Amino acid sequence: MAAGREHFGSRFAVIMAMAGSAIGLGNIWRFPYMVGENGGAAFILVYILSSFLLSLPIFFSEAVIGRSTHANTFGAMRQLAPGTPWRWLGLLTILSPVIILSYYSVVGGWSVEYLLKSLALQFRTPEAAAGFGGFISSTWGPLVCHTVFLALCAAVILGGVKSGIEKFSKLTMPVLFVLIVLIMIYSLSLPGASEGVRYLVKPDFSKLTPSAVAAAMGQSFFSLSLGVGTILTYASYIHKDENLLVSGAGTAAFDLVFALLAGFAVMPAVFAAGIEPAAGPGLVFETLPHIFAKMGLASPWLSSGVAILFFITILVAALSSAISMFEVGVAYLVEEKGISRRTATLGLFAFAWTLGALCSLSFGPLSGFKLFGETLFSFCDKLTSNFLMTFGGLLFTLFVGWKMDKMRVRNELTNGGSLPMNGRLFGIIYFMIKWVAPVVIGIIFVTNLLL
């Protein structure tokens, strides 16, 4: 174990930090519209199955690598497989989270703008709610917001693992749950909300095409922050006596519950307002303000209050995820390159800011610049969520299932045999890591390549 390395202080801290990484825009911004586009409950069903059968094995693979080495992704690979090409996996999983951080911070920036707008009580008229397209395609506003968002992340990262990440997560995660439950109760109380509930619970299997199935699985990886080294890095801050199975299952459960709560907070409101559910990524920034405005005509204070709570929720959820992406690169630079935490944070800030700024401009002035037919923003999104995350997840499970010593894996999951785990449970988990997850993830990866 590296000298002077920080650790999370308790099991609660571990689960809050990991849940902080997992719960993010993926749950609030992506999940509801993906459910809307891909057949409601049928999609949710595949999503839940995939969370348990595929995502947890990847989660445990990353956690085993991180905790057994107490190192950053590159250092971990170097320790476990010195002198082999596996170090490229270490490097890949430093690059992918920085790319995600760049475009994620642009969307995080939108939530800064929308929070400010709601604090200025602007969502009281339908006109105010209609400006999303105009805002994101403008030059300066989104850039300023992107900068603010990234600076907030950097501030938490500078605080370190215990006083930065741990403190922030322990404080904000419980608040997030309270907020989303309040919003959900409000949304469910709207007239016409039951349509939205029916939509979420009634499966439409006809929409469950192979690409919808791949999307559900991809969403479950994205939501649990898998395949890009964030879980590995956070796990490297876990003490040897913590139970990895419990932390993993706890994190996955929180993430799933939060996604469902967000679905039940968003969809009933969408139906109550008589809006098409498959509205795409604009759902939370375009549709919801419209709904707030509609409500505002009847009760301006209530609608402004709900809008404020909603955008605080999005902003905080996005921040706690973004800091986990940030930390992967910082851990690497500090431990492998001997740079101070401060310089590493500034360096990564500069890189993510630049790529993020280009992504932001790709909605406006740079919209004509295309990579493989996509704008830079959508290219970075697709590259990471369709390819790099699945590829990283695939390689992590292959590494733990085929390359790492089985005894070491077992020791890590049972804390050297001190945790009671019967052989059958370990056998099942190991089988999932070694066979099921790589085969299915491999199929998804190839499907994504071909589709």
Residues 6 or more apart from 118 whose CB is under 8 A from it? 292, 304, 307, 308, 310, 311
Per-residue exposure over 242-265, b if at least 16 CB sit within 10 Å of its own CB, e if not: bbbbebbbbbbebbbebbbbbbbb
Q: How far is the CB of 325 from ligand PHE (least distance, A)?
A: 5
Rounded-to-integer distance, Cα 178 and Cα 184, Å: 10
Sole binder of ligand PHE in the list 38, 50, 230, 233 (CB under 6 A): 230
Sole binder of ligand PHE in the list 169, 220, 225, 243 (CB under 6 A): 225
Q: What are the angstrom distances between the C-alpha of 216 and each of 211, 219, 229? A: 9, 5, 21
- Burial of 156 by CB count in 10 Å (0-12 exposed, 13-18 middle, 19+ buried)? buried
| Of residues 11, 47, 12, 46, the one with CA closest to residue 26 | 47
Q: What are the angstrom distances between the C-alpha of 53 and each of 83, 178, 220, 230, 412? A: 32, 29, 11, 20, 20
Task: Say whether residue 235 binds ligand PHE (CB under 6 A).
Answer: no
Check if the beta carbon of residue 306 is closer than 8 Å to that of residue 238: no
Task: Say whether residue 102 binds ligand PHE (CB under 6 A).
Answer: no
Residue 72 or 303: the one with the smaller Cβ distance to ligand PHE is 72
Q: How many chain residues interact with ligand PHE (CB under 6 A)?
A: 16
Q: How far is the CB of 317 from ligand PHE (least distance, A)?
A: 7
Question: Looking only at residues 22 through 41 of this chain, which bind ligand PHE when binding is defined by CB under 6 A?
Answer: 22, 24-27
- Judged by CB under 6 A, the stretch of 37-45, 64-72, 321-329, 362-370 that binds ligand PHE is 321-329
Task: Say whether residue 324 binds ligand PHE (CB under 6 A).
Answer: yes
Task: Say whether residue 251 binds ligand PHE (CB under 6 A).
Answer: no
Sole binder of ligand PHE in the list 77, 89, 161, 228 (CB under 6 A): 228
| Of residues 56, 154, 165, 46, the one with CA closest to residue 105 | 154
- Judged by CB under 6 A, the stretch of 21-29, 165-173, 343-351, 395-403 that binds ligand PHE is 21-29
Rounded-to-integer distance, Cα 367 and Cα 370, Å: 7
**Tokens coding 254:** 């929180």
Residue 273 or 319: the one with the smaller Cβ distance to ligand PHE is 319
Q: How far is the CB of 168 from ligand PHE (least distance, A)?
A: 15
Question: Looking only at residues 325 through 344 of this chain, which bind ligand PHE when binding is defined by CB under 6 A?
Answer: 325
Q: What are the angstrom distances between the C-alpha of 320 and each of 142, 165, 207, 233, 325? A: 20, 8, 33, 15, 9
332: part of which helix (H) or strand (E)?
Answer: helix 300-337
Query: Which residue in the block uniquely carries the two structure tokens 């990579």?
Result: 371
Task: Say whether residue 390 binds ligand PHE (CB under 6 A).
Answer: no
Residue nearest to ligand PHE (CB): 26
Task: Say whether residue 97 binds ligand PHE (CB under 6 A).
Answer: yes
Task: Say whether residue 172 binds ligand PHE (CB under 6 A).
Answer: no
Residue 129 or 145: the one with the smaller Cβ distance to ligand PHE is 145
Phi, then psi, of 371 in degrees rounded to 5: -115, 120
Sole binder of ligand PHE in the list 114, 222, 349, 445 (CB under 6 A): 222
Residue 270 or 325: the one with the smaller Cβ distance to ligand PHE is 325
Task: Say whether residue 21 binds ligand PHE (CB under 6 A).
Answer: yes
**Tokens coding 395:** 């390689």
Rounded-to-integer distance, Cα 138 and Cα 134, Å: 6
Q: How far is the CB of 225 from ligand PHE (least distance, A)?
A: 3
8-state DSSP, 367? T
Residue 66 or 296: the one with the smaller Cβ distance to ligand PHE is 66
Check if the beta carbon of residue 54 is closer than 8 Å to that of residue 441: yes
Q: How far is the CB of 255 from ligand PHE (least distance, A)?
A: 7
Task: Say whether residue 223 binds ligand PHE (CB under 6 A).
Answer: yes
Residue 225 or 448: the one with the smaller Cβ distance to ligand PHE is 225
Task: Say whether residue 397 binds ligand PHE (CB under 6 A).
Answer: no
Residue 271 or 311: the one with the smaller Cβ distance to ligand PHE is 311
Task: Say whether residue 437 binds ligand PHE (CB under 6 A).
Answer: no
Residue 25 or 44: the one with the smaller Cβ distance to ligand PHE is 25
User: Which residues are near ligand PHE by CB under 6 A?
Assistant: 21-22, 24-27, 97, 100, 222-223, 225, 228, 230, 321, 324-325
